[in-house]
Homo-oligomer: A and B are copies of this chain.
Amino acid sequence: MTSTTRRQVLSGAAAAGAALLTVSPRAARASAPIATQQNAGFYRFKVGDIEVTILHDGARTFPYSDTFVKNATREQALAAADEAFMPKGMVTVPFNPTLINTGSKLVLIDTGFGPVPNAPVGQLFPNLKAAGVDPKDIDIVILSHLHPDHINGLRTADGSIAFPNAELKAPAKDWAFWMSDENMAKLADNKMMKDYFDNTRKILGGLDARMTKYDWDKEVAPGITSIAAPGHTPGHTAFAVASGNKGFFVQSDVTNIPEFFLRNPDWHVAYDFEPELAAKTRHKFYDMAASEKMLVTGFHFSFPSAGHVEKDGGTRYRLIPIAWSAAL
């Protein structure tokens, strides 16, 4: 092999660029123009008889803020970002709801950001359409917890319910926490928490009668069992999904991005309400997922947002993403 280096590669490019300047504009145009359309963001797989569709709501990339990880230095956090080859000095957080057709019910777990003008998020609805799913066909919407990126897709731009025929389900503990005016008043000095409380009222206001509040360790849809995973929020919930002798976990936000918090499960993401409890939940959940070798879908895993968890030494974990399969 040649000893081509980055510099040689790039000087080769410069030479190529110079060469292009000597040809006519017409000859310098490929037969096909540069495309502008990315593939749709949905991915399907079967688990036993049920069909899972991961739906990409988009991703946000932002300059690293020192408050993102509360108990790691900027250097430590950016080293983790570098190890994941994120853009220099930046962090990318993706958002991916999970749709499950149990055969008897079409169940959407979490709803993304909903309509946000000029934002790289809110793509759940075009991706549902690309996947051939009409929001009217969704039988049950289950919220894992009541943060904006999980609940805001419940409402269309005009404020109506985006899933008109669906039963809506929220964790009882999260509903009680976020809908308490006493809690809201108590935490009003915390800007992030105030925004969260305001948002729950904007999105969930008027839905008390329609919303089914579910407890942990219950079957919240056929074959879908709620699992207590508190810490991120008081009522944050993961799910075990089963079909015959096959199953998988929907982890919701047991971690935010795995590149940071599965590699470093004791790091505290800014959005965790009770960070020590969240870290404890993380260890328990991933110890279980690793020892059971269960497939896990994660709202903040890179699309297609499913993989297996392996232990890496005593207290760290690594996500092994599933291999894309065109076959269903």
- Chain A residues in the interface with B (C-beta under 8 A): 1-6, 8-10, 12-13, 15-17, 19-20, 23, 27-44, 48, 51, 53, 56, 58-59, 83-86, 92, 94, 101-106, 120, 123, 130-134, 136-139, 165, 216-217, 219, 222-223, 225, 227-230, 238, 240-247, 281, 284-285, 288, 292-294, 302-304, 308, 310, 320-328
Contacts and interface: CB of A to CB of B under 8 A. Distances in A.
Contact of A10 (B123, B217, B238, B247): B247
Given A37-B132, A58-B326, A247-B13, A4 B104 contact: no
A131 B101 contact: no
Given A2-B216, A13-B244, A31-B139, 15 more contacts: A1-B228, A1-B281, A9-B242, A10-B245, A19-B222, A29-B103, A30-B101, A31-B136, A32-B134, A39-B39, A41-B326, A59-B323, A59-B326, A83-B310, A304-B324
A323 B245 CA distance: 31
Contacts of A284: 1
A7 B13 CA distance: 57
A32 B137 contact: yes
A120 B326 contact: yes
Contact of A294 (B6, B38, B292): B6
B324 A94 contact: yes
Interface centre among A35, A131, A284 (most CB of B within 10 A): A35
B38 A327 contact: yes
Contact of A51 (B5, B35, B48, B285): B35
6 contacts: A8-B240, A13-B245, A13-B247, A31-B136, A33-B101, A123-B326
